Amino acid sequence: MRTLESGSTTLITGASSGIGRAFAQRIAAAGGDLVLVARREGVLMELAGDLERRHSVRVSVIAHDLDEPDAGRALAEKVAERGIAVDALINNAGLGIHGDLATAPLAAATTQIGVNVTALTTLTALLLPPMIERGRGAILNVASTAGFQPVPHMAVYSASKAYVLTFTRALWREVRGTGVDVLAVCPGATDTAFFDTAGDAASVGSRRTPEKVVDTALRALRAGRPSVVDGRGNALVSWLAPRLPERGNRYRRAFSPSHHPLRSKEIPMYIHDFAVRAAKAVNTHDPDAVVALWAEPADYDSVLTGPEHGLAALRAREEALFAGFSDLRATITPLGQEGDTGAILVRFDGTHDGEYAGFAPTGRTMALEMVAVVSFDDAGSVVGERVFLDAGSVVAQLS
């Protein structure tokens, strides 16, 4: 069942906000009935009433905490008691907690495993057999770009999302030919309540909207794909991250531009040409040359400055960088390109002369390496950038 529309009933966990809420709105607009699940009953009731009034669909509400013991089985029993046949399941509920395993409370780890892994697996196992018997159905699991590589300080979260991704891909193969479609959608940083729990430290770069994630997921479901990453930049980083050697001092050779499979010459400005121009701009200590690499976007958005700073902030950042490191040198190596998005490896070397972002005390030598994912417009100017510090272990954007 590759569409969620009129005549079908979709159960959505984590439906009160964010991606789950966006799925509910989209499916209701297409005429599909819903079972909305989350802890906040009042919020769900308000959403259900709005969807029923606007789209004339049936919406059931189940207030349920998936962190409770055997929560998946208990939810399946509540659904059965109401006589609801679930045609599609969207396992959207999940949480991530930022912190080191050794210092965080044990409950932080077990809660993430309970919601992200145990409840998702139990619900899938209990609701899948009736779908197979009916010869139609869909299971959509919300994974994350964090599932493609280990994420320090969110070790349990990234491991749990790696499980979701692998589990879903295997299940996709198991149910082929049954009429049931299975998909894992992997968002990067998305503008949801996830960061209320994980904290802003878990977010890298700009955030996409829940509606964009839903668009990506439904296209992939219609295409019968086993998994999909939301956003071109996220897709490139997710492809790149597992291929970086674990020891950061070896990855430059592994990603030699002449051997990189994503290198292409299909758009006006190639990523290796951009690398040459960017290195020249930095090594001549010319902030105007750095700014000239950019188009005139509404906002300049980088993890090093934060959102909504504009190109004036970009220039100020470069001025501070050059003032802080009088002998600063940059080596910029193209890693690959797909469509209008490319990845570069950046290494800064220099002696710290003043204060700059707390990188090093005065008189210390700095060596900073990062991966930047850069998006271009048709003229070859930069329109977007995501920076990932510590290129030896790229930190993913999280859903």
Positions annotated as catalytic residues are 157
Asked if residue 382 lies in contact with residue 293, where contact means CB atoms within 8 angstroms, the answer is yes
Strands 227-229 and 180-186: parallel
Q: Sheet holding 329-338: strands in order across?
A: 329-338, 341-351, 365-376, 382-389
* Strand partners of residue 140: 90, 183
Q: In angstroms, rounded to a whole number, what is the distance separating the alpha carbons of residues 351 and 165?
A: 43
Nearest residue to 18 via CA among 255, 268, 197:
197
Q: Sheet holding 33-38: strands in order across?
A: 59-63, 33-38, 9-13, 88-91, 137-142, 180-186, 227-229
Asked if residue 138 lies in contact with residue 1, where contact means CB atoms within 8 angstroms, the answer is yes
Collapsing DSSP to helix, strand or coil, 133 comes out as helix
Cα end-to-end distance, the chain, whole Å: 25
In terms of DSSP H, where are the helices of 207-283?
Answer: 210-223, 232-240, 251-254, 271-283
What is the Cα Rg of the chain in Å?
Answer: 23
Asked if residue 382 lies in contact with residue 225, where contact means CB atoms within 8 angstroms, the answer is no
Q: In angstroms, rounded to a whole number, what is the distance separating the alpha carbons of residues 189 and 175?
A: 30
Q: In angstroms, rounded to a whole number, what is the distance separating the alpha carbons of residues 329 and 350?
A: 6
